[in-house]
Amino acid sequence: MMRRALLLSVLLLSVPLIAGCAAPPAPDMGAVEAKPASDWQAGAMVAAANPLAVEAGLAVLRQGGSAVDAAIAVQAVLGLVEPQSSGLGGGAFLIHYDAASGDVAAYDGRETAPAGARPDMFLTASGEPEAFLAAVQSGDAVGVPGLVALLAAAHRDHGRLSLAADLGPAIRLAEEGFAVSPRLSRVIAAVAGFGPLLPDAAAYLTIDGTTPLPAGHILKNPAYGETLKRIAAEGPRGFYEGPVAAAMVAAVRRGNAPGTLTAEDLKGFEARRLEPLCRPYRAVLVCGMGPPSSGGIAVLAALGMLGQFDLSGGAGDARAWHLLIEAERLAYADRDLYAADDRFVAVPVAGLIDADYLAGRATLIAPDRAMAEAQAGTPPGAPQRAADLSGRWTGTSHFVVVDASGNVVSMTTTIEGPFGSQRMAAGFFLNNQMTDFSFRPADEKGRPIANAVAPGKKPRSSMAPTIVFRDGRFLLAAGSPGGNAIIGYVLKTLVGVLDWGLTPQQAIALPNVVARGKPVVEAGFDGGLRAALSAMGHEISEARAGEASGLHAVMLGADGRLAGGADPRREGIVASP
């Protein structure tokens, strides 16, 4: 199994990303490495999107569980109480810091395309992209779920308790029932407003087939509990084989738009343990997820450009926001053109976050004027590609766990759209992750799109679980849901903490800025900042303000204590055992 400490002196600050590609030079900032936390005394903390999930994680920590044990408990409850966002039928990315060894590892549980997937599967007979909702609700939308395999792999490496202990809180909630939260009730109503729910979703999420479950309704899901019991007893084999696997295949194959998922697709899935992407930013080391996620690449690229500027003006400085917006736009432009599953297409990962390349990109940013249009650049090793603008839905969640030994989990988890494909099996929703692929395999000039569908391929993601180190010690873990807007959400939070000296809660509460293409999408600038940014040429729009973040973060403060943040736009909390 791949295993290596993230240790790295100045000359080795870049993890080797692609065979034959040299690491880019790092700035002169002294030795930076992730070190063991043998003197850890800061305690433990959980930050997640639902109080019941947080309490499940805390219960496992009180039993002596590790950060990974608690993460399994958090995820199992989130899949029950927040099924619009994540669950057993989806996938995830996880970054883990091992306090005893200093190792930092990335776990890839992204869904894969079934063997029967085709590049043109989301095109109509006339060659046009299929209507998005029709694609979401089709069996073709379902990728092979990767979450359970990821959790099992992380548990093998870092778990202390049994899977039965980790899954116990969720099993009890599934059997005894839980109160539907206000947000869950609102999301049910919103999704039903797009069109009729599929029979599975209507039966589970409504009272009479049409009326959304109200907040406070006690919802039980014994089938979900039975699935968790099978996983606890048999491990991932209890999910990817046997009756649960058969139920997934049947759910995908039924209805007027069946998919191709098979028992062989499920049995063959394996989670991957990878090296994280790590780059210096000022006096810290920022580690995130590489392909098939574009999130870590884009966040590191934007930070690499911002490192050329002085952002010390703080959160009230329009110039600082302008620089953040422009760097974000340039990072998105590169991301849209080049990022995809690097097992299938050449992705110039090292080039996209190369220090010299990003310094050159930063020269495109005027200090006080918005650029007319952000164009993709040509990083070292760049292939010729056509841009892809896929990614529309935001059924995702993020949580952070720090345990009593100083181990850290930063995990982003998803089923793609709200309630995924709306198809249920064995008590859980199946993802619609295949709609994260480009519906077109090539542009009008015939240039290939990197994120086109292929059998066994993972759709490009924007998830960006992140861990930051200062002086080799853990400093901050953060991440967010939000579709392709995740990149903007995580970036402004990192800048808020690292450049503006804010607490995680203050940084999370800052206005959300998503600058992809021409508009600047925001949700909360005051009149002065709005006017100043408009004067610089930025087009301010709130058209996607409803695509709310769900940021969660935990930080080790200068006083040696943990401080957390939970996004006020959702229902999450931060708590310690």
Indicate the helix (H) or strand (E) that contains 108. strand 104-109
Distance, in Å, from the CA atom of 265 to the CA atom of 260, rounded to the nearest integer, reads 9
What per-residue confidence (pLDDT) applies to 38? 80
CA proximity to 34, closest of 133, 138, 106: 106
Are 169 and 77 in a shared domain? yes
396 in catalytic set: yes
Q: Which residue has the tokens 């900042």?
A: 529
Distance, in Å, from the CA atom of 144 to the CA atom of 238, rounded to the nearest integer, reads 15
DSSP assignment of 187-205: HHHHHHHHSPPPHHHHHHH
Are 295 and 260 in a shared domain? no
What per-residue confidence (pLDDT) applies to 543? 65
Are 325 and 204 in a shared domain? no
Q: Which CATH number fits the domain that encloses residue 368?
A: 1.10.246.130
Selected catalytic residue, list 227, 396, 412, 435 = 396
Distance, in Å, from the CA atom of 548 to the CA atom of 512, rounded to the nearest integer, reads 8
- How distant, in Å, are the alpha carbons of 4, 56, 59, 80, 481 from that of 393? 35, 27, 32, 20, 10
DSSP 501: -
SS3 label, residue 554: strand
Residue 443 lies in a domain: no
The percent of the chain in helix, strand and coil, each rounded to the nearest 5, is 35, 20, 45
Residue 345 lies in a domain: yes
φ and ψ of 520, to 5 deg: -100, 115
Are 479 and 347 in a shared domain? yes
DSSP 15: P
SS3 label, residue 428: strand
pLDDT tens across 355-395, in order? 999 999 999 999 999 998 899 999 999 887 777 655 455 67
Number of domains in the chain: 2
Are 322 and 407 in a shared domain? no
Are 365 and 472 in a shared domain? yes
Identify the segments of the chain with pLDDT beneath 70.
1-33, 388-394, 543-547
Taken as a whole, the chain contains a residue count of 577
Are 287 and 183 in a shared domain? no
Domain extent, residue 118, equals 45-271+399-436
Neighbours of 505 (CB within 10 A): 18
- How would you list the strands of the sheet with 91-97, edge to edge? 272-274, 104-109, 91-97, 408-416, 395-402, 45-48, 573-575
Distance from the Cα of residue 365 to its chain's centroid: 28
Residue 388 lies in a domain: no
As a whole number of angstroms, the longest Cα–Cα distance in the chain is 65
Residue 185 lies in a domain: yes
Residue 390 lies in a domain: no
Q: Which residue has the tokens 């340039």?
A: 330
Distance from the Cα of residue 460 to its chain's centroid: 11
Are 364 and 230 in a shared domain? no
Structural contact between residues 414 and 86, judged by C-beta atoms closer than 8 angstroms: yes
Are 133 and 29 in a shared domain? no
Burial class of residue 185 (count of CB atoms within 10 Å of its CB; 0-12, 13-18, 19+): middle
Residue 490 lies in a domain: yes
What per-residue confidence (pLDDT) applies to 20? 26
Residue 115 structure tokens: 């063997």
Q: Where are the alpha helices (DSSP H) in 195-241?
A: 199-205, 222-234, 237-240
Rounded to 10 degrees, what is the CA torsion of 468, 470, 473, 479? Answer: -10
Residue 558 lies in a domain: yes
Parallel/antiparallel/unpaired status of strands 539-541 and 519-522: parallel
What per-residue confidence (pLDDT) applies to 281? 98
What per-residue confidence (pLDDT) applies to 11? 26
Residue 394 lies in a domain: no
Are 469 and 416 in a shared domain? no
Distance, in Å, from the CA atom of 291 to the CA atom of 251, rounded to the nearest integer, reads 29
What per-residue confidence (pLDDT) applies to 574? 98
Are 282 and 167 in a shared domain? no
- Beta-bridge partners for 408: 97, 402
What per-residue confidence (pLDDT) applies to 5? 37
Indicate the helix (H) or strand (E) that contains 473. strand 473-479
Indicate the helix (H) or strand (E) that contains 521. strand 519-522
The three-state DSSP-derived secondary structure of 360-406 is HHHCCCCCCCCCCCCCCCCCCCCCCCECCCCCCCCEEEEEEEECCCC
SS3 label, residue 447: coil
Distance, in Å, from the CA atom of 70 to the CA atom of 140, rounded to the nearest integer, reads 33
Predicted TM-score of the model (pTM): 0.93
Give 16-19 contacts, CB < 8 A, sequence gap 24+.
Answer: 16/275, 17/275, 17/277, 17/290, 17/349, 17/350, 18/342, 18/347, 18/348, 18/349, 18/350, 18/381
Residue 143 structure tokens: 């990728």
Are 102 and 183 in a shared domain? yes
Neighbours of 403 (CB within 10 A): 28
What per-residue confidence (pLDDT) applies to 368? 92
